[in-house]
Amino acid sequence: MSAVGNWRYRSDTGHITWSDEVYQIHGVTRENFDPAYGEAVNFYVDGDRERVDQEVGEALRTGGGFKLNARLRRPDGEVREVLCKAECIRGGRDEVIGLQGVFQDVTQQTQTLRDLETLVRRAEAAESVARLGNWRLDVRTRELTWSPQMYEIYGLSPDAPLNPEAVLALYHPDDVALGTARIARQLLTGESVEGAITRILRDGEVRYLSYNSRSERGPDGEILALVGTSVDITRQHEAEIALAESEAKYRALAEHSTDILVRFGPDGLIRYISPACRRLGLDPDEEVGRPIARLMVAESEQHPAALLAALFSGAEIDTSAPRQHEILTQDGRVVWLEGSPSLVRNESGEVVEVVTVLRDITARHEIEAALAQSERRFRTLTTNAPDMISEMRLDGTLTYVSPASLAILGFAPQEMIGRKPSSFMHPEDAARVLEMCRVVFESRGEVEPWSVEYRAYGKAGEELWMESKPTFVTDPKRPLRGPYRRHARRHLPQSAGSGTSLGSGRRRGRHGGKDRIPGQYEPRTAHPAHQHPRLHQPGRRAA
């Protein structure tokens, strides 16, 4: 308990009388200190000293009293908070002859009050950050008390009138009846409410509030008030709605996708697998909790268990490149799967989950295998054929030449690849051959290619007669192949490749069974397309 003493000051004599408690508050004793007005005032700190002297002088002049809080410094340097109350002492003629009053050390109470004010400020700051306010409804008076944050939540000014009816008027129309019923029930039963959600209208915008409340009871159990907290959860509510919509879309995609979506943790056990796994003879409900290793796509040189350990080790691992492997389904089918894992990390960067999408590529794998086999057959055919077979892009650049080129022209295949056939032809014949190719190509299948004879130059510079019939394939995704053959009547079947033509060329020393005169050329007219008007327009240059 704080010390309380009394004092008396005679202004006519200047004498001051202190009780023992006042000496104690000042930190002095009767034996070593005889109070006088000037010495007593000097105990107060700067700023408070002048105020005390002013209050004393004013009371003596007017005959009134005063009450003030001030700070004094003891001889040991300690500062104490004191409360001083005074009233006038009057003489026989009712004149003011002094002052008397009580003196109290309120240091502890003042510090407690300051601590409380600090806590209140902190609580208000926390409420503001958390968008949380507190309130109290007095049952008897119907008086409603709000913390500052409650006004912020409802968008009201601090001087707005408060009562339950005014607050209910701010509720969303669809929530007014429910809010009224809740308050009435609480006032009747005193039951607590936790996590109740209601909607209010603030500046025309719907806001979502969550509140908790309980009853405050008196000694006899009577309900005195309802107290509670309210928090604005609009952002959280909107986020939950967005999350629910996202999860619904995610679930719909996962359930209707033909790809298999799998989630698994560091323990290697499946946490989720989409219904598409039924295509592999698996039950999605039964697979949860089972090892992912048998479904993990991994390169042949890396065991699934090793890949699983690497995924969660934190080490650098390439997750961008798709991985393929084959599995044996429960019904005995061999299925090829392709997928690439995505790592899910926590705030510290640790991998806590892996999400992967597995795609059944069995059909594609079979097509690729068949295509590879067809390609091998094609290469075997072209490698062993006596005719020279070439493959060209649509711009005429050679991309493949069979080994027969060495025997026919004296050029090794690698010496011809990357060049154009026209670079090996006689200039007078190259333009005509290219024009034929262009006419056939631009006709989009209306004009069929025909065999052409032309002069070419071997590696040694000798002039050779060649016969060729290109085959055009309409798919533009593959290069143009032009086969060259020694005999015009021998034709290779069209290749399975797209955007290409196959043809062959063969040296000829005789033309049409007749001996040739050097430098003389006799065009063939065996194919009706020789009469195509674009090849015989007067004055037209061959492209």
Handedness of CA 403, 406, 412, 413 (dihedral sign): negative
- Pick from 97-111, 163-177, 291-305 the range whose average pLDDT is largest: 97-111
- C-beta separation of 100 from 6 below 8 A: yes
Both 397 and 483 in a single domain? yes
pLDDT of residue 163: 86
Question: Per-residue pLDDT for 341 more than 60?
Answer: yes
Question: Per-residue pLDDT for 492 more than 50?
Answer: no
Q: How confident is the model over 443-470, as a mean pLDDT?
A: 84
Cα–Cα dist 386/382, whole Å? 8
pLDDT of residue 526: 35
- Residue 135 inside a domain? The answer is yes
Q: Which residue has the higher pLDDT, 506 or 97?
A: 97
- Residue 253 inside a domain? The answer is no
Of 69, 73, 70, which Cα lies nearest the Cα of 28? 73
Q: How confident is the model over 287-310, as a mean pLDDT?
A: 73
Beta-bridge partner residues of 10: 15, 98
Q: Which residue has the higher pLDDT, 81 or 334?
A: 81
- The residue written with tokens 């959280």 in the block is 236
- Residue 502 inside a domain? The answer is yes
pLDDT of residue 95: 92
Question: Per-residue pLDDT for 87 more than 90?
Answer: yes
- Residue 472 inside a domain? The answer is yes
- The residue written with tokens 């007095």 in the block is 138
Q: Which residue has the higher pLDDT, 328 or 68?
A: 68
Q: pLDDT per residue over 217-273, tens digit each?
A: 999 989 999 999 998 888 888 888 888 888 777 677 666 677 888 899 999 899 998
3-state secondary structure at position 39: helix
* Adjacency order of strands within the sheet including 193-202: 144-146, 132-138, 223-232, 205-217, 193-202
Provide the mean pLDDT of the chain.
Answer: 80
pLDDT of residue 486: 34
Q: How confident is the model over 332-344, as a mean pLDDT?
A: 84
- Pick from 139-153, 285-299, 389-403 the range whose average pLDDT is largest: 139-153
pLDDT of residue 523: 39
Q: How confident is the model over 79-99, as a mean pLDDT?
A: 93
- Residue 419 inside a domain? The answer is yes
Q: How many CA atoms lie within 13 A of 194 on its CB side?
A: 1
For the whole model, what pTM was predicted?
0.38
pLDDT of residue 502: 39
Both 233 and 265 in a single domain? no
What backbone torsions phi and psi does residue 379 show, to the nearest 5 degrees?
-65, -40
Both 332 and 392 in a single domain? no
H/E stretch holding 179 reads: helix 176-189
Question: Per-residue pLDDT for 23 more than 90?
Answer: yes
What does DSSP assign to residue 28?
-
pLDDT of residue 499: 35
Q: Which residue has the higher pLDDT, 377 or 208?
A: 208
Which band of pLDDT confidence, cut at 50, 70 and 90, is reported for residue 525? very low
H/E stretch holding 203 reads: none
Question: Per-residue pLDDT for 437 more than 90?
Answer: no
- C-beta separation of 401 from 505 below 8 A: no
- The residue written with tokens 């001083």 in the block is 84
pLDDT of residue 237: 87
Q: How far is CA 122 from the centre of its chain?
A: 34
Cα–Cα dist 33/27, whole Å? 10
What does DSSP assign to residue 403?
T
Please report the DSSP string for 475-499 in residue order.
-TTS-----EESSTT--PPPPS-SS
pLDDT of residue 10: 92
Both 416 and 509 in a single domain? yes
For 388, residues 6+ apart whose C-beta sits below 8 A from its C-beta are 401, 402, 404, 405, 408, 409, 483, 484, 485, 504, 505, 506
Q: Give the CATH number for residue 327.
A: 3.30.450.20
**Token reading at 530:** 């020789």
Q: Which of 88, 105, 122 is the last residue of a domain?
A: 105
Question: Per-residue pLDDT for 534 more than 70?
Answer: no
Please tell me the total count of domains within the chain: 4
Q: Which domain holds residue 526?
A: 378-535
Both 21 and 161 in a single domain? no
Please report the DSSP string for 110-173 in residue order.
HHHHHHHHHHHHHHHHHHHHHTEEEEEEETTT--EEE-HHHHHHHT--TTS---HHHHHTTB-G
pLDDT of residue 445: 66
Cα–Cα dist 198/212, whole Å? 11
Question: Per-residue pLDDT for 527 more than 90?
Answer: no
- C-beta separation of 144 from 137 below 8 A: yes
Both 386 and 503 in a single domain? yes
Both 49 and 156 in a single domain? no
Beta-bridge partner residues of 217: 223
Question: Per-residue pLDDT for 497 more than 60?
Answer: no
Both 30 and 166 in a single domain? no
Both 497 and 413 in a single domain? yes
Lowest model confidence (mean pLDDT) among 152-166, 266-280, 443-457: 443-457
Percent of the chain exceeding pLDDT 70 equals: 83
Beta-bridge partner residues of 472: none
**Token reading at 187:** 């006032």
- C-beta separation of 234 from 208 below 8 A: yes
Question: Per-residue pLDDT for 412 more than 50?
Answer: yes
In 10 A of CB 110, how many CB atoms? 17
- The residue written with tokens 């080129």 in the block is 405
Both 526 and 387 in a single domain? yes
- C-beta separation of 261 from 274 below 8 A: yes
Both 470 and 519 in a single domain? yes
Q: Which of 313, 333, 360 is the last residue of a domain?
A: 360
Question: Per-residue pLDDT for 519 more than 50?
Answer: no
Both 444 and 399 in a single domain? yes
